[in-house]
Amino acid sequence: MSATVQLNVRMDQALRDAGNAALDGKNLSPSAFVRAAWEKLAQRGEQLEALLDVVFDKAEQRSSGSPVVCGQALYATFVHDAGLEGHALDAAIKGRPFEEMVADSLMERWAERGLGCE
């Protein structure tokens, strides 16, 4: 038998209460729900983007507009949600052409797979 661990999450009490009420309606405990979600994540980690889309309501943002506009919207949402407005991360991409950022990203991915130029 594998060791069990405890996962602690902090959240607003009103949010917890509303979530517990929804789970109670399905006869689920918070622990059972988190275990089931973690199992799906472990089994289908390659589908994480789709799961995140559902959890963070991003599917609608991605389905409309060009990839560049959608990417910018996702980035702006991430920066806002993470509380990073005005930090170095935001300043690091300002003024950089999109094509340059894509090229840098591809080079990083290729290097991770051992395909980069030496």
In a domain, 26, yes or no: yes
Q: How far apart are CA 35 and CA 31, in angstroms?
A: 6
In a domain, 88, yes or no: no
Which domain does 2 fall in, by range? 1-43
Per-residue confidence in pLDDT tens, the chain, 118 aa: 678 888 888 999 999 999 999 999 889 899 998 888 888 888 776 667 777 777 777 655 555 566 666 777 777 777 777 776 666 555 556 667 777 877 888 888 888 877 766 5
Domain count, the chain: 1
CB-based contact 107:116 (threshold 8 Å): yes
In a domain, 72, yes or no: no
Burial grade of 39 (CB within 10 A; 0-12, 13-18, 19 or more): exposed
In a domain, 6, yes or no: yes
In a domain, 25, yes or no: yes
In a domain, 14, yes or no: yes
In a domain, 28, yes or no: yes
In a domain, 23, yes or no: yes
3-state SS of 17-75?
HHHHHHHHCCCCCHHHHHHHHHHHHHHCHHHHHHHHHHHCCCHHHHHCCCHHHHHHHHH
